[in-house]
Amino acid sequence: MTGKVEFSYEEPVFVISVAAKVLGLRTQTLRYYESLGLLSPGRTEGNQRVYSNSDIDRVRRIRNLTDDLGLNLAGAEVVMNLLEKIEDLENQLNKTLQENLRLKDLLSS
């Protein structure tokens, strides 16, 4: 029986050459983004960089900000950090709203 192998969105699965090919970039560009702190790929036991689908999407957003919107990499980093903070705050808000509903249900019982 052959089963379909599924990977988490966050699980590193692409070596740098494959990630670069998927993105249409050079491997040096991915290394440069990492040196700037824009990316943090996983590492194998042999210290080889491995990228997740999340990393691939992050690079695509960075390229969109730089190529399409004309931001420099420092500006793209600021935007990416702000987007992450917004996402974290939205998650916190959702948890708080769920807890609020749970407590309302307890009080009305």
pLDDT at 9: 79
Domains delineated in the chain:
14-108 (1.10.1660.10)
Cα R_g (the chain), whole angstroms: 19
Quote the tokens at residue 66: 């730089």
Q: What's the pLDDT band for 3 if we cut at 50, 70, 90?
A: low
Residues 51-64 pLDDT 10s: 999 999 999 999 99
For residue 65, report the phi and psi dihedrals to the nearest 5 degrees.
-65, -40
Residue pointed to by tokens 């919107």: 69
pLDDT at 1: 53
Q: How many residues does the chain have?
A: 109
pTM over 0.85: no
